[in-house]
Copies of this chain bind each other. A is one copy, B any other.
Amino acid sequence: MSNKQVTTPKISSTIQRQVNRAKILRTLRTLQPVARVDLARETGLSRATVSSIVDELVLESLVEEIGVTASRGGRRPILLRVRPGREGRSAIGFELSRNNLTGIVVDLHGRVIATRRELLPAGHLEPAALVELIRQQVERLTAPQDQTSHGLVGVGLGVPGLVNPDTGFVQVAAQFGWHDVPLKEMLETSLKVPVKVMNNVKAAALGEVIYSHHEPDHSPNPRLYLSLGEGIGAALIIEGKLLSGASYTAGEFGHITVAPGGPLCTCGNAGCLEAVAGLPALVSRYLELARLEEPSRLTMAPGEFPFLTSARFLEAVSAGDSLAGRVIGEAAEQIATALAGVINFTNPELIILGGPLGQVGAALLNPLNQALRRRALPLPLSHVRLITASLGANAAGLGLGATLISQLSEVVLSR
């Protein structure tokens, strides 16, 4: 235990120290609760070094002692763990959507300890106004105890638009009429903590992928997140890092050609996946089938079907409506065509189906699996696990929060 009455937090930042700190934090996270000896054995560091670093981590509220455990023949080991909840440190992930701003506080264990959703003010939203809104939210979300702000590791923000995740520069956010907004910079000057700004779907992807088990984790192999809704997007995560691409648009999945000569797409091309398996296309198809094959239905609820909403259609799918199921089956076939290509090409270990359409579960998973078995190469296919997203509206916030938290146990080699 630390007996020094240290006043200065004393950030020691040689690379050596950073690497060892990260190593200890990482093994601590996976093995907790765990004693110093075990950390030494596991990391290969000396007990002296481990003691020294653990002292530091305790001073920084990252780690705490939680009492002794049974003796193993001598002095009883003191168990350590990453400090959970409000007493430890935390990160906040925000998601900006058309109407809402949702903030989620994530603790060092990667668990949600607070959530807050707020309606955006009516009318045009200025970037500066958003920054102020977030500042207030951060204050409210952290206020309960520690406005020491020593507790806050960082703040993340998911924005619907084209964002450079390295610089936090929002190039375009059409919904808000933004162009070239240095949002990260603005937030950092306002909040005085590190800020991460990225596209909201990518943030959700990070969340779903990191939390695909119960606890957050990383893997060296590619993992894929699909967002199936009005539009169809994707994100590829390799070695725990999001693939951005040369123009920060990597992950475009909706405009893969799956039906050459097929229906026109908003992108100007023909036969794009989005044009045949996007939610609007599915709704139209459902209406078409209904008219052709079961006009009785149309008469059952006159005036309703022509204006069928996406939500209604999804309800029908979930309710087991056979016609809707058929539409989903057809869509699965098209999605599989594109997805098989991506599976062959990127050879992922995990694919997560998100977005409204991803939520229908087995109704999509089953036909998709069948179609993939026909279309993808056996070897890569046999290494893929296909699941549905599980975090719902929390995905983006959790993704950003967890990313910030896990940066504590990573070393960044500049240049």
Contacts and interface: CB of A to CB of B under 8 A. Distances in A.
A247 interface: yes
B247 A375 contact: no
A259 interface: yes
A349 B256 CA distance: 19
B345 A246 contact: no
A45 to B, nearest CB: 12
A332 to B, nearest CB: 14
Nearest to A382: B247
A238 B375 CA distance: 26
Given A257-B340, A260-B259, A222 B249 contact: no
Interface residues of A, number: 52
Given A15-B19, A383-B246, A267 B342 contact: no
B257 A341 contact: yes
Contact of A16 (B14, B340, B346): B14
Nearest to A244: B347
A338 interface: yes
B341 A380 contact: no
Interface string A1-42: 000000000000011100100010010000000000000000
Main secondary structure on chain A at its contact with chain B?
A: loop
Contact of A345 (B221, B234, B344): B234
A345 B249 CA distance: 8
A345 B372 CA distance: 19
A273 to B, nearest CB: 9
Nearest to A14: B16
B252 A380 contact: yes
A97 to B, nearest CB: 23
B246 A375 contact: no
Give the oligomeric copy count. Answer: 2
A257 B345 CA distance: 12
A375 B256 CA distance: 9
Interface in A220-278: 221-222, 234, 236, 238, 243-253, 255-260, 267, 269
A252 B347 contact: yes
Interface centre among A222, A344, A383 (most CB of B within 10 A): A344
A22 to B, nearest CB: 9
Interface in A368-391: 374-375, 377, 379-380, 382-384
A48 interface: no
Contacts of A260: 258-260, 337
Nearest to A253: B345
Interface centre among A246, A251, A260, A267 (most CB of B within 10 A): A246
B344 A255 contact: yes
Given A243-B238, A244-B347, A258-B260, A249 B340 contact: no
Contact of A252 (B236, B250, B345): B345
B15 A247 contact: no
B338 A341 contact: yes
Contacts of A346: 236, 243, 245, 250
A228 to B, nearest CB: 15
A16 B234 CA distance: 39
10 contacts: A15-B15, A19-B413, A26-B415, A246-B380, A247-B382, A255-B340, A258-B260, A260-B260, A269-B374, A413-B413
Closest 7 A-B residue pairs measured CB to CB?
Answer: A245-B347, A256-B341, A252-B344, A250-B347, A246-B349, A246-B383, A221-B246
